[in-house]
Amino acid sequence: MKTSIDPPLGPVAIFPPSERVLRFPSLEFFRYDHLPPHLQAVALPFYNLAQDVARTWFDQGVPGERCAQMLGREDQTSLALQKLLEAKDAAVRAALPLK
Per-residue pLDDT of the chain (99 residues; tens, 9 = 90+): 444 333 333 333 344 567 777 888 899 999 999 999 999 999 999 999 998 888 887 776 555 555 556 666 788 889 999 999 999 999 999 999 988
Q: Output the pLDDT for position 75.
A: 85
Long-range contacts of 22-31 (CB under 8 A, 24+ apart): 23/54, 23/57, 23/58, 23/74, 24/54, 24/57, 24/77, 24/78, 24/81, 26/50, 26/78, 26/81, 26/82, 26/85, 27/51, 27/54, 27/81, 29/85, 30/84, 30/85, 30/88
pLDDT of residue 42: 97
What is the per-residue pLDDT for 3? Answer: 40
Residue 19, pLDDT score: 76
